[in-house]
Structure 1
Amino acid sequence: MEFLDNITTNWIIIFILTGFIAGYIDSIAGGGGMIQVPVLLYSGIPPVFVLAANKSAGMFGALMATIKYAASKKVNWKVVSIAIIPCLLASYLGSSLVMYLPQELIHWAILLSIAIAMISLFKKSKTIKEENIKLTKKSIILSTAPIGFYDGILGPGTGTYLTISMKKFLNLDFLVSTASTKPLNFATNFGSVVAFFFAGKILWLVAIPMGIANICGSYVGSHYAIKGGEAFIKKVLITVLVAMLFANIYKMIFQ
């Protein structure tokens, strides 16, 4: 792998800084991959290895966020226990198929998913007290597993989409939605990492330092999400979606 010669100490430092910022954003609203993937690509690492490194680092960050939110008792474990296996399997399937999809189709699919997420976010929906929410197995799986599949294929914005989906279709508030997303995000990342591991696509030289930085950023971000509550999380969600929209439009026009 000749491209490994270009991974200098300076690049490792950049990966660490990028991982911290991505972990911070991802722990609040998702979208950490949107930060990590462009930097990894710019370093000259091939796309498949980039996806593998992004998933590996994101897995560590999602684990830290899960621990932090669980300690604050913000995770809805009923949702997690029902959705985690379907999300993991869907993610594994997505990662197994990603190399066979046309690039142009992927770009349009991303734009469509962002548009749907923004419409859902700005459309008012009732927040019901947790004790009054009636969650069915079917509703939980339908609102999470398709996003797990998306995570396996692409990844950026998965946490954002899961949070909005839980808010919209399961009537959880933003803080509980965000918290419950993290163990699912860990599962989808884990499913992808397994697929990439057996394919020999994980660059541990990149994934480990970026993953440690992800853990640190995730710890700080989840702290501020718990402290700031729903209003803070919604602002970050909107920022992430707008950034994703412009980033993907730019990519389609100029690349």
Structure 2
Amino acid sequence: MPDISLTMIIVLCLAAAAAGWIDAVVGGGGLLLLPALLLGLPSQVPLTHALGTNKAVAIVGTTGAAVTFARKAPVDVKVASRIGLAAMAGAAGGALLAGAFQKETMTPVIMVVLLLVAAFVIFRPSFGAAPVDGPVTRQRILAAILLAGVGIGFYDGLIGPGTGTFLVLALTGLLRLDLLTASATAKIVNVGTNGGALLVFASQGAVMWRLAALMAAFNLLGGMAGARLAIKKGSGFVRMVLLTVVCALVVKLGLEQWA
């Protein structure tokens, strides 16, 4: 582990706990966790090591949240697992290309998409308020596997910001879920995206395991607490947090783009 002060380790652990809570409710914990690592680690630590450590921390929190949701929320674990396996493959492919990709070229596109998402959620208050009656067709499940699994998984391995949020929205629309169930399903899929990217970074020796283990414990506690609160508060609470995270992502990306 690189030479990091005790104060900075405490700050990183608290950031990991907060990121786990955000991720469990609606996704977007990377908005806090990855920047904290980039700021807290010594300048000589390569970017890939921050990315790899981020995934090692995040997978623990998302797994804890996924287990909590699966026990108490109406999640179709079978469908979620299929999408998660596709997401693992997509994320591994994205991580392999991460070193050669310039994030700045995609930032404006991501910002426009997030603004459209915020507008849609604001002007469609009924979106995700309740699940649509009737069984989900095979065509919709296949679309979810390709878009939410392979597509968003690839994006997570390649870039990452807003992955959980995109998953919640895609699953709500494609599988006709309410926002709470979509958030619960997204956690299972997110385990796949984190796992696929982590396998690649670990094979490259780009994970600081001791630091990751310490931060992961706090991320797990935050994730489980967030999942329990989301289950208790329901879809209205998830919708409010979703809008907050989307707006925060837009601001963060905008500051990065024009700094």
TM-score between both structures, scaled by the size of structure 2: 0.90
Letter in 2 for 1:203: M
Q: Does 1:133 align with 2:130?
A: no
> 2:110 corresponds to which residue?
110
Q: 2:90 aligns to what?
A: 90
Q: Which residue of 2 aligns with 1:70?
A: 70
Distance (Å, rounded) in 1 between the aligned partners of 2:146 and 2:69: 24
- Alignment match, 1:171: 176
User: Match for residue 17 of structure 2?
Assistant: 20
1:143 aligns with 2:140: no
1:157-168 equivalences in 2 (<5 Å): 157-168=162-173
User: Structure 1 residues 109 and 152 mapped into 2: Cα distance closer, same or farther (>3 Å)?
Assistant: farther
Amino acid at match of 1:143: L
- Name the structure 2 match of 1:211: 216
Contact map agreement 1:74 1:175 (CA 8 A) in 2: no
Aligned residues: 251
Cα shift readout 1:203-225 (whole Å, capped 9, x = no counterpart): 11321111111100011100100
> Equivalents in 1 of 2:119, 2:163: separation in Å?
16
Amino acid corresponding to residue 107 of structure 1 in structure 2:
T
Output the amino acid matched with 2:62. A
What secondary structure sits across from 2:205 in the alignment? coil
Provide closer, same or farther for how the CA distance between residues 102 and 73 of structure 1 changes in structure 2, counting only shifts above 3 A: closer
Give distance in 2, aligned partners of 1:217 and 1:103.
28
Q: Which amino acid aligns with 1:104?
A: E
The answer for unaligned runs of 5 or more in structure 1 is: none
Are the aligned partners of 1:91 and 1:153 in contact in 2 as well (CA < 8 Å)? Answer: yes
Q: Which residue pairs with 1:29 in the alignment?
A: 26
Relative distance call for 1:149 and 1:121 in structure 2 (3 A) is farther
Shift, 1:109, TM fit: 4.0
What is the CA-CA distance between 1:66 and the residue it aligns to? 0.8
The alignment-based identity, stated in percent, is 30
- Aligned residues of 1:15 and 1:206 also touching (Cα < 8 A): no
Structure 2 vs 1, CA of residues 128 and 220 (structure 1 numbering), >3 Å: closer, same or farther?
closer
The alignment's C-alpha RMSD in Å is 1.8
Q: Are the counterparts in 2 of residues 82 and 140 from structure 1 also a CA contact under 8 Å? A: no
Contact 1:20 1:215 in 2 (8 A): yes
Q: Distance in 1 between the 2:236 and 2:52 partners?
A: 33
Counterpart mapping for 1:175-190 below 5 A:
175-190=180-195
For the pair 1:9 / 2:14, whether they are aligned, the reply is no
State which of 144, 147, 154 in structure 1 corresponds to 2:159.
154
Q: 1:40 and 2:37 equivalent?
A: yes
Q: Deviations over 1:85-131 (max 9, x none)?
A: 21110000000001111242142343244234324433534744454
Give the CA deviation at 1:37. 1.1
Relative to 1, partners in 2 of residues 1:49 and 1:130: Cα closer, same or farther, differing over 3 Å?
farther
Q: Which amino acid aligns with 1:121?
A: V
Q: Measured at CA, do residues 69 and 175 of structure 1 come closer, stay the same or move farther in structure 2, by a change above 3 Å? A: same
* Structure 1 counterpart of 2:36, one-letter code: V
Partner of 2:81: 81
